Chain A
Amino acid sequence: MSEQTAALPKPPSLALRMLRAIALLRESPVGLIGAAIIAFWTIVALFAPLLAPYDPNATISPMLYPGQTDGQGNTFLLGTDHLGRDILSRIIYGSQRVLMLAPLATFCAYIVGIPMGLAAGYLRGKWDTVLSFVTNVILSFPVLVLYVIIIATVGASAANILVAITFASAPGIMRIVRGLVLDLRNREYVAAAQTRGESSLFIMFVEILPNARGPIIVDACLRLGYVIITIGVLGFLGLGLPPPDPDWGGMINETRQLAMTFPHMAVYPCIAISSLVLGFNLLADGLREISLRD
């Protein structure tokens, strides 16, 4: 008997399956472009100390245009800001922050939103009524006001940005998951699990959730883009990460007074934010295209 079971082919390892999933992206040029942009920024973030020409917080020569060289012979590819810090280095180091914070915040939002959606969609009844009401209340607030209120109350820090984004995004995720579950709960394999007396938790997380993963992954990619924008906006409002550490949104905020004379100070961080958001949106489009094809 043990020989028979041993003779069976091993299921492919997780790493291999992920590689295969990435290989699928070849079929969607749009998705591939998105993945390339994200890969670019990830490499930049990982190797920031090697890539950045200067210390991001060092004051060298203020108000230089892109490509200018200062008295000591330092060349600044993207110029310097009003305090004389190298913009290129700040963007490179800033990518670290955003690529840490955005996925983490999105992940936290899903950790909260998914169980809410599962409970509302599968258990229905009172759970659905209460959870839907709560999410409707949160969603009816203007998001920006919500962020300002939360962060102004608890103070600006990485952890608090995480909390704020989770609080504001979880209701939307709950709604998406709830919609998916409302469809999936009528499948016969769910009925089969019910007839063998499985607990609701088992049915929600083992029988239903894995089958909702496709749309959830696509939504997560899109949402990551929005979260990056949000982090940028928070930085712009002065509610982002506390200075002097480089933050893309903060860079725009600090230099917007000078934007008429020194547009480069704000434009380059803007391009950085937009390109990353675009990357995630394109990836989401690509994933959706592939998932629809099968």
Chain B
Amino acid sequence: MASRANGAVDGAASDRSGETPVLECRDLCISYFTRAGEIPAVVDFNMTLYKGGSIGLVGESGCGKSTVAMAIMRYLGSNGGIVGGQILYQGRDMAELSEAELRRLRGGEIAMVYQEPMASLNPSLKVGRQLTEVPMQHEGLNEKQAWERAADLLGDVNLPDPKRLMDSYPHQISGGQQQRVVIAMALLTSPSLLLLDEPTTALDVTVEAGIIELIGQIAEKYDTSMVYISHNLGLILETCDRVNVMYSGEAVETGTVQEVFDHMRHPYTKGLFGCIPLPGADKKERPLVPIRGQLPLPHERPQGCNFGPRCDFFQAGRCDGDAIKMHEVADEPGHKVRCVRWNEIDWASYSPEGVGGGAIEPGERVLEVDGMRKYYEIADNSLSALIRGGRVKHVKANERIDMAAREAETVAIVGESGCGKSTFAKVLMGLETASDGTVNFNGNELAHKSVHERTPKQLGSLQMIFQNPFDTLNPSHSVGAQIARVIRKFGVETDKSKVDQRVMELLDLVKLPRDFARRRPRQLSGGQKQRIGIARAFAGRPSMVVADEPVSALDVSVAAAVTGLLTEIQQTYRTTLLFISHDLSLVRYMADRVVVMYLGHIVEQGTTDEVFAPPYHPYTEALLSAVPIADTSVQKKRIILEGTLPSVMNPPSGCVFHTRCPRKIGGICESEEPPVVEPHPGHRIACHIPLEELQQMEPVIVMTESDKQKAAEAGAKPEPEPGSAGRG
């Protein structure tokens, strides 16, 4: 099997079969040994990576992708070990290397970039010191040479002013800069293999776009081979030429990005693409299709195909027998799939039903925010403040927020971290009170009313769904008790048996078994916890729910199910949903109207169609361009924002976006606040650029012709074309 993998790689296979691959995994099996016994984390894993190539490992959490990376670095903990197969680096078996050789390899020839840049850098050492250490250790350079090399590389990773950076501590530079420093550190010894484990997951989208571009440049310039680990199919498309889709410890499909993205054969790959909101997915007509069931725990994997119990094409007797082997797709050498039915499934007639579909007509206005401002006061104890006499600094978290939301409507608030979207939510919820302006909710003025001044009815009618599933429920109380408390608190029911009855109804509503009421949060999976969070928010029969990134911490298939559920409940109760998110793909899918915020200001708002098509605010344009889209037929304009997000303590004068704006027109941007222009009634853009010029902008996202056709056909016919389901 391994030899076959060796012979048949990608398009370059024919002329590369004689070459020694940089990295090769042959029938790799990795297990962890715990008190419960041996837990196989990765089974029968094959991968061949040539010089200059890049392979993406994609899959949901717990599928073993990080374990593979750790095994390559030989970093498996004391309880983990390779139980079968080999890892060959430049043709040498890693298992035979001595400790000293391994130390030379790690950091020298194989470098790794982790998810959290701040955790990779030592906070108590200056950046320069940490960087120079690497070549001094590995190549025996003296300090001066190492310093020069490090400064050069910081320039190479597009960091301005390397000298100043080298003299900074990690906390003094932004998250994006930190990750660039980590990448520079990985490149210092010109490694031949770079492992990237979710390098952009902790970063904002516009910053992520910069890092992705950098990774592409590195691959070209240094001819480094890369293994890129991500849960995001869009990022894989932008960075890799081959992809390995993993599920429950196995690679289920592998091939070039084109093959896997356009002609996927494995039902799981198909399912994954049905779960992500690609352009063309639409909650009204083409809702997302979550994968039913749950990822099996490693020691509870089913017989035969691991995906069997969740697969629509499961055949008893064939799929639940022996372990499934990788099958090579007939006309595509190198495209392999771990499915016995890879050649039989008729994808053309497969149209699974999505959740949360159906159109809905918005009703009356329920929320009207007018000129709302929120300033935080901070005591300024600096000497200059003492001299000037001003002892209070203002943090302008929200500046002049004007917006409205109607019944049953979904309004998305979009922006990167620090844009003031969470502050806005806090004011709405009454955790903070506004400094100025009005918030009219169902005829009640709430801007200056804190939670304690609101009536139980007002509280119950405006509730919130939180972001972090591991944090949203109190681990000390049972699920039922937590929901019951909300019901009593809002005075929905007071009688004990009626409260219990209502708890059961709410569990039914979020499609969880009733006996979950007795469970503790730790006995629930992330998606289940998030469902309980939704049940809790809907306990008081709210007329509006604020959802703060409700699915951003969940795996794609779970996120699709939770998104669908949320839409369904919202439609049943005609609830207004204020959807706070940084994920523009999801926003395009979910929202009826979009509000784009930057540094506390609303820069653009309008219906989803208006905001996602020109004319754009330059910031919206950059945001749209930054979002990775897992569709090979989509072409995007590349706009990378320069510089870092200014501090809200000291926002730029004039237009707050002028420091990073790629379309800045001149001094007016720095001196005057931009006027609001309205290309259509309700579509408002705050920008100095004349409207005529804005209207001449090209769309950021373009689908190629063939795909437009496909989308049109799919729209006309009830059944989507093969390969375009959920995509269009």
Q: Give chain B residues whose Cβ lies under 8 Å from the Cβ of A197.
A: 430, 451-452, 454, 456, 459, 489
Mark A1-21 against chain B: 1 for CB-CB distance below 8 A, else 0: 110110011010000000000
A153–B727 CA distance with the chains assembled, in angstroms: 82
**B574 contacts A by Cβ under 8 Å:** no
Q: Give chain B residues whose Cβ lies under 8 Å from the Cβ of A210.
A: 474, 476-477
Chain A proximity of B32: nearest CB distance (Å) = 15
**A192 contacts B by Cβ under 8 Å:** yes
Q: Give chain B residues whose Cβ lies under 8 Å from the Cβ of A213.
A: 476
Please tell me if the beta carbons of A188 and B468 are within 8 angstroms of each other in the complex.
yes
Q: Give chain A residues whose Cβ lies under 8 Å from the Cβ of B476.
A: 210-211, 213
Residues 467 to 522 of chain B near chain A (Cβ within 8 Å): 467-468, 471-478, 482, 486, 489-490, 497, 500-501, 504, 514-515, 517-518
Please tell me if the beta carbons of A211 and B475 are within 8 angstroms of each other in the complex.
yes
Mark A150-182 against chain B: 1 for CB-CB distance below 8 A, else 0: 000000000000000000000000000000000
**A72 contacts B by Cβ under 8 Å:** no
Q: When the two chains form the complex, which single residue of A1, A5, A187, A194 contacts B451, counting CB atoms closer than 8 Å?
A: A194
What 10 new A-B contacts, CB under 8 Å, besides A1-B504, A207-B474?
A: A9-B518, A11-B478, A188-B466, A192-B533, A194-B431, A195-B459, A196-B459, A197-B430, A197-B452, A211-B476
**B235 contacts A by Cβ under 8 Å:** no
Closest 6 CB pairs of A and B: A210-B476, A188-B466, A188-B471, A189-B474, A197-B451, A188-B472
A8–B454 CA distance with the chains assembled, in angstroms: 36
Chain A proximity of B433: nearest CB distance (Å) = 13
**A39 contacts B by Cβ under 8 Å:** no
Q: What size tier do the contact residues of chain B reach?
A: 35 or more
Best-buried of B464, B471, B474, B489 by chain A (most CB within 10 Å): B474
Chain B proximity of A207: nearest CB distance (Å) = 6
List chain A positions with a Cβ less than 8 A from chain B.
Answer: 1-2, 4-5, 8-9, 11, 187-189, 191-192, 194-198, 206-207, 210-211, 213
**B429 contacts A by Cβ under 8 Å:** yes
Please tell me if the beta carbons of A192 and B454 are within 8 angstroms of each other in the complex.
no
A284–B627 CA distance with the chains assembled, in angstroms: 50
Q: When the two chains form the complex, which single residue of B430, B431, B464, B504 contacts A4, counting CB atoms closer than 8 Å?
A: B504
**B688 contacts A by Cβ under 8 Å:** no
Say yes or no: A8-B478 contact (C-beta < 8 A), given A1-B501, A187-B471, A197-B452: no
Q: Give chain B residues whose Cβ lies under 8 Å from the Cβ of A4.
A: 504, 514
A189–B431 CA distance with the chains assembled, in angstroms: 14
Q: When the two chains form the complex, which single residue of B431, B477, B501, B514 contacts A191, counting CB atoms closer than 8 Å?
A: B431
Residues 638 to 665 of chain B near chain A (Cβ within 8 Å): none
A4–B503 CA distance with the chains assembled, in angstroms: 12
A178–B454 CA distance with the chains assembled, in angstroms: 29
Please tell me if the beta carbons of B451 and A195 are within 8 angstroms of each other in the complex.
yes
Q: Give chain B residues whose Cβ lies under 8 Å from the Cβ of A188.
A: 466-468, 471-472
Chain A proximity of B376: nearest CB distance (Å) = 15
Q: Give chain A residues whose Cβ lies under 8 Å from the Cβ of B464.
A: 191-192, 195
Q: When the two chains form the complex, which single residue of A2, A9, A189, A196 contacts B489, counting CB atoms closer than 8 Å?
A: A196
Chain B proximity of A204: nearest CB distance (Å) = 13
A1–B497 CA distance with the chains assembled, in angstroms: 8
Q: List 27 A-B contacts (CB under 8 A).
A: A2-B497, A4-B514, A5-B497, A8-B514, A8-B517, A9-B515, A187-B474, A188-B466, A188-B468, A189-B474, A192-B466, A192-B472, A192-B536, A195-B429, A195-B431, A195-B459, A196-B459, A196-B460, A196-B463, A196-B486, A196-B540, A197-B452, A197-B454, A210-B474, A210-B477, A211-B476, A213-B476
Please tell me if the beta carbons of A189 and B459 are within 8 angstroms of each other in the complex.
no
